[in-house]
Amino acid sequence: MCSNNIIISFIGLVLLACCLSNVEAQLQVGFYQSTCPPAEFIIMNEVFSAFQANNGIAAGLVRLHFHDCFVRGCEGSVLIDSTTGNMAEKDSPANFPSLRGFEVVDTIKNALETACPGVVSCADILAYAARDSLLITGGIGYDVPAGRKDGTVSLASETIDLPPPTFNVAQLTQNFANKGLTLEEMVTLSGTHTIGRSHCTSFRNRLYSFNATVSQDPSLDATYAAQLKLSCPQANNDPNLVVPMNPGSPNVADVGYFVDVLNNRGLFTSDQTLLTNQSTLAQVIQNAQDPFLWGNKLIAAMVKMGKVGVLTGNAGQIRLNCRAPN
């Protein structure tokens, strides 16, 4: 016989599921078609201009969207500046100094405010810019459901929700599950590490201080480790030292990441750990062998991630300046 508490809990879960479905339903492809017809063109044009000036910015914009969605949901809080009384997400150790692309978002927002004042949210800018960045680097284009509103709170302490580069496969799986993303989607999204760069500080331990027994991570290809040591010398602790995530094609959204992982050339512990689990290993092999399959899975995963914790309707606001609440 079920207790009243169990019945109430079940009803609560049903209501929560309905609320989530309603929120997602309010995101629509072509959301700005009537209120700001040139929105997507303006965003793509600015992303392309930024990419021409610095082809590494595409990876930065993809990462901005990811880091936004994993903290408080996809509501633009990663863009908010710190104030005297509050350290915002962007200034936490998880994001600073590695996150980039803020100035590009500012440029996009200024152009949109000129064309359509107070219409396009900063959160939607991030979703569109991530899509355009993947397309520009050789990925497959896709439609972005939009209609997100912007949040008004940004706390550095909440970046604990971001998966660090030291996570193992079990920790990664749980971290993504907390956001409603599956193990397969976790592996698929990890593939975006095929573009961009990393600061040496994110993997230095794998080269010089892996554990009490060995200084160098034995799962790291020895030749690759030697190359990394040239770029990240032990005696040089400059936090600005960087290396490409995927040396073979650092500015192309291809399956080179998965090939690297299979060859023990995954840069982070969180990359190489994908070989330690049979399910994730199978996904890595499949993606490495079938670029078109990975591209299509990435589209679905990006769209799903873009719905995490969104604010729509009367929730949130359209920030006039992406760096501060109205």
Closest CA relative to residue 234, chosen from 267, 266, 206:
206
CA angle 61, 64, 69 (to 5 degrees): 135
193 assigned binding-site residue = yes
Residue type, 144: V
> Among 63, 65, 67, 297, which one carries the catalytic annotation?
67
290 assigned binding-site residue = no
**Beta-strand relationship, 197-199 and 145-146:** unpaired
Q: What is the DSSP string of 103-117?
A: HHHHHHHHHHHHHST
184 assigned binding-site residue = no
- Determine the pLDDT at residue 18: 44
Give Cα separations from 170 to 122, 176, 266, 272, 283 (angstroms): 33, 10, 17, 13, 15
Q: Phi-psi region for residue 313, left (φ > 0), alpha (ψ -120 to 50) or beta?
A: left
254 assigned binding-site residue = yes
CB 89 within 8 A of CB 161: no
Residue 166, C-beta contacts closer than 8 angstroms, at least 6 positions apart: 205, 268, 269, 270
Dihedral sign from CA coordinates of 247, 259, 267, 160: positive
CB 32 within 8 A of CB 125: no
68 assigned binding-site residue = yes
DSSP 81: P
Sort 297 into a burial class: Cβ within 10 Å, 0-12 / 13-18 / 19+. Answer: buried
Q: For residue 229, what is the enclosing H or E element?
A: helix 222-231
Q: How many CB atoms lie within 10 A of CB 242?
A: 19
Cα 116 to the chain's mean position, in Å? 27
Residue 74, C-beta contacts closer than 8 angstroms, at least 6 positions apart: 65, 68, 123, 126, 127, 148, 305, 306, 307, 308, 309, 310
163 assigned binding-site residue = yes
Point out which residues pair with 324 in neighbouring strands.
Answer: 321
Closest CA relative to residue 39, chosen from 103, 135, 129:
129
Look-up of token digits 């070989």: 275
Look-up of token digits 């670029």: 291
Per-residue pLDDT of the chain (326 residues; tens, 9 = 90+): 444 444 444 444 444 444 444 555 589 999 999 999 999 999 999 999 999 999 999 999 999 999 999 999 999 999 999 999 999 999 999 999 999 999 999 999 999 999 999 999 999 999 999 999 999 999 999 999 999 999 999 999 999 999 999 999 999 999 999 999 999 999 999 999 999 999 999 999 999 999 999 999 999 999 999 999 999 999 998 989 999 999 999 999 999 999 999 999 999 999 999 999 999 999 999 999 999 999 999 999 999 999 999 999 999 999 999 999 99
Any catalytic annotation for residue 67? yes
Look-up of token digits 């949901």: 73
- Determine the pLDDT at residue 26: 85
202 assigned binding-site residue = no
